[in-house]
Amino acid sequence: MAEATEVTADKALPELDPVIHAQARLRVVAALNVLGDGNEMAFPTLKDLLDMTAGNLSVHLTKLEDAGYVRITKTHKGRTPVTYVALTKRGRAAFEDYTKAIRALLDNAGGTS
């Protein structure tokens, strides 16, 4: 029988960033994090990569932009409008903190079977 372990104040479970924690937003941030610092991805490429509708992706990008985690740049290629999305430094730091918190959470849950 496994022994129950108690979570103490010095070993409190980490907080997870609610902006990133939503599955769709986590996927967006993870995809953008793969890009080098300062690089961006065209909206249709991100939409296709994540297999999301344009409307759904737009809603999640707005929440990430409001938090300062992504930068949206609207421009034109010739006469065609193009939207680019990039992870900001704040977004990269938030994603790094989020992944550390997840690892800590999983390490704390790693008891015996």
Q: How far apart (Å, rounded) are the C-alpha atoms in residues 105 and 99?
A: 10
pLDDT category, 110, cuts 50, 70, 90?
Answer: low
Measured in residues, the chain has a length of 113
Beta-bridge partners for 82: 75
**Which of 2.30.30.40, 1.10.10.10, 2.70.98.60, 1.10.3720.10 would CATH assign to domain 18-106?**
1.10.10.10
Q: What is the pLDDT of residue 1?
A: 45
Higher pLDDT, 11 or 101: 101
Percent of the chain that is helix, strand, coil (3-state, to 5): 50, 15, 30
Q: How far apart (Å, rounded) are the C-alpha atoms in residues 85 and 26?
A: 15
Q: How far apart (Å, rounded) are the C-alpha atoms in residues 17 and 5?
A: 25
Q: How far apart (Å, rounded) are the C-alpha atoms in residues 38 and 15?
A: 28
Q: Summarize pLDDT for 1-59 with one digit per residue, the tens.
A: 444 444 444 567 778 999 999 999 999 999 999 998 889 999 999 999 999 999 999 99
Q: What is the pLDDT of residue 99?
A: 95
Q: How confident is the model over 52-75, as a mean pLDDT?
A: 97
Q: How confident is the model over 71-81, as a mean pLDDT?
A: 93
Strand intervals (E) in the chain = 41-42, 70-77, 80-87
